[in-house]
Amino acid sequence: MSRRFKKSRSQKVKRSVNIVLLTIYLLLVCFLLFLIFKYNILAFRYLNLVVTA
């Protein structure tokens, strides 16, 4: 196999892994925000102190 093929294949694998990890990270963040608002975590007088912008 040529270097070019190995390098391009390696980059594709790294990109795929990064996409999967980013997706997992985003799902966890959304779940955490859901829990924060559902159970009023970090709430002061029932007002969430989390800025979601």
Quote the tokens at residue 2: 């040529």
Residues 6+ apart with CB under 8 A from 33: 50, 52
> In the chain, what is the greatest distance between 2 CA atoms, to the nearest angstrom?
65
Q: What is the pLDDT of residues 1-53, one digit of tens each?
A: 566 667 788 889 999 999 999 999 999 999 998 998 888 887 776 676 665 54
pTM score over 0.85: no
Residue ranges of the domains in the chain?
Answer: 3-48
Rounded CA gap, 27 and 33, in Å?
10
